[in-house]
Amino acid sequence: MKTVLIKGARPYGEGDPVDVLVEDGVITDIGALDTPEDAEVIEAGGQVLLPGFVDLHTHLREPGREDTETIATGSAAAALGGYTAVFAMANTDPVADNAVIVDHVWRRGQEAGLVDVHPVGAVTVGLKGEKLAELGTMAKSEARVKVFSDDGLCVADPLLMRRALEYSTALGVVIAQHAEEPRLTVGAQAHEGEQAARLGYTGWPASAEESIVARDCLLAEHANARLHVCHVSTAGTADILKWAKERGTKVSAEVTPHHLLLTDERLATYDPVNKVNPPLRTGSDAEKLRAALAEGVIDCVATDHAPHAVQDKDCEWSSARPGMLGLQTALSIVVETMVRTGLLDWRGVARVMSERPAEIGNLSDHGRPIEVGEPANLTLVDPDTEWTVRGAELASIAANTPYEGMRLPGVVTATLLRGRITAREGKIAS
Ligand code: DOR
Ligand code: ZN
Ligand code: ZN
């Protein structure tokens, strides 16, 4: 296997630049090193070296909507965004609620070879919320499913959620909940507040999220199970998580880049590119989410990368699908909202983009320290250079980015998966 020498990188953005030698997929030396004859050299020029990012929440659209994203194109977007592992949500068509589908997704990811694609298994058959799927079979299949979720929909029935949590403990897996009490969001189009009222949209109240998060924290605590809360969007949810964690509940949570940066003020344009579920909230929610992420009340950043076809986005607001692209812009949004504001240093970025998501998703070979003997899943970041987002230039088939035309800081210059360069200078490595 190829030898790679990363010359002059700053692990975690700390200290003087060092050389990092990678052989056979493993970091074998760190220091001032000679260049081995056969080595491929990456001149890092003092850039920041981080453990490869891990996304707990990605929608690839295969099987079913390969016109918007495939496992291969989504893997390319992920590698270019600095990711070495992603968890692919189960709301495909057919739904990933059995071993055949999850194994198919896992194998397609390995064939693409750019990131490890870990399929998320559905909690209930067909995401219908009626009957538990065969979690055990999926957990023991070739894909070794580690995360289960009905994401897109909430496991609203408390009895089913309780059973799922109980089973998950025995299997050593985690249930990730899309917290949305469906009775409170019938017809909802936007965050329930002044902006929705002004625009005449039916509101999606904060209480629809918070009531489920509070309920599930209690269910998890009583079952002594682990719960993961998807895309936290309200200040109130952060308070509930803090309370639950202080009580010792085994709960973890993610926030999306878009909920860290964007607010419902953007809805004034009526452009459905801003439609997402849960919806963009207020400025004070976003501020609270940033503080909660810095504090560790929210554990990590997850993209909720949700590609959609033009005809499903470029239409009347009420008929548009919710969701936005996220894989190639996540790091930049984290730099903008968390690093430039002084809320996180690069150690903190490694924690929220790589280490914590790898722990939550039970991955033993990602999110590891940058040390000799560790797997070379690495991301090199130029922290100062800015770039302009162009949806059409992203690797995803769909182009629904809410950041179109925005100048953002932070460029991923190289990604290595088990010592192999998968992305380099904005291009997929062949
Ligand atoms: O905005 C969203 N898009 N929220 C979800 O829960 C589902 C996702 C999708 O699949 O498009
Ligand atoms: Zn969701
Ligand atoms: Zn989602």
Q: Which residues contact 14 (CB under 8 A, 6 or more apart)?
A: 346, 347
Residue found under tokens 């230039």 = 393
pLDDT in tens, 261-318: 999 999 999 999 999 999 999 999 999 999 999 999 999 999 999 999 999 999 999 9
CA pair distance 344, 122, nearest whole angstrom: 34
Of all helices (H) and strands (E), which one includes residue 258? helix 257-261
Alpha helix segments (H runs only) across 268-338: 283-295, 310-313, 330-334
Q: Whose CA is nearest to atom 6 of ligand 1?
A: 152
pLDDT in tens, 307-336: 999 999 999 999 999 999 999 999 999 999
What average pLDDT does the chain have?
Answer: 98
- Mean of the pLDDT values across residues 235-252? 98
Q: Find out whether the beta carbon of 68 lies less than 6 Å from any atom of ligand 1.
A: no
CA of 303 to the centre of ligand 3 (A): 8
Beta 407-417 vs 378-388: how paired, if at all? antiparallel
Ligand 1 pocket mutation pick from 321, 327, 397, 401 by most atoms within 8 angstroms of CB: 321
| 330, 306 Cβ separation under 8 angstroms | no
pLDDT in tens, 379-420: 999 999 999 999 999 999 999 999 999 999 999 999 999 999
> Residue 2: pLDDT above 90?
no
Ligand 1 pocket mutation pick from 181, 276, 277, 397 by most atoms within 8 angstroms of CB: 277
Q: 144: how many CB neighbours lie within 10 A of its CB?
A: 15
pLDDT confidence of residue 266: 97
> Residue 430: pLDDT above 80?
no
Q: 388: how many CB neighbours lie within 10 A of its CB?
A: 11
Q: Would you give the DSSP letter of residue 417?
A: E
Residues of the chain with pLDDT > 70, as a percent, come to 100
Is residue 304 annotated as part of the catalytic site, yes or no?
yes
Q: Find out whether the beta carbon of 109 lies less than 6 Å from any atom of ligand 1.
A: no
Instruction: Provide the residues around ligand 3 (an ion) whose CB is within 5 A.
Output: 151, 304
CA of 191 to the centre of ligand 2 (A): 15
Q: Find out whether the beta carbon of 323 lies less than 6 Å from any atom of ligand 1.
A: yes
Question: E strands, 200-276, where?
Answer: 203-204, 227-229, 251-255
**Nearest Cα to Cα of residue 371 among 357, 348, 359, 355:** 355
CA pair distance 417, 167, nearest whole angstrom: 33
CA pair distance 360, 332, nearest whole angstrom: 23
CA pair distance 237, 240, nearest whole angstrom: 5
CA pair distance 364, 358, nearest whole angstrom: 7
Q: 132: how many CB neighbours lie within 10 A of its CB?
A: 17
pLDDT in tens, 109-120: 999 999 999 999
CA pair distance 176, 155, nearest whole angstrom: 10
Residue 429 burial by CB count (10 A; 0-12/13-18/19+): exposed, middle or buried? Answer: middle
Q: Whose CA is nearest to atom 1 of ligand 1?
A: 323
CA pair distance 367, 347, nearest whole angstrom: 12
pTM surpassing 0.85? yes
- Mean of the pLDDT values across residues 343-351? 99
Domains of the chain: 3-48+375-428 (2.30.40.10), 52-360 (3.20.20.140)
> Residue 1: pLDDT above 90?
no
CA-based angle 189:300:399, to the nearest 5? 50
The band of 68, judged by pLDDT with boundaries at 50, 70 and 90, is very high
CA of 306 to the centre of ligand 1 (A): 6
> What does the block give as tokens for 113?
């070879």
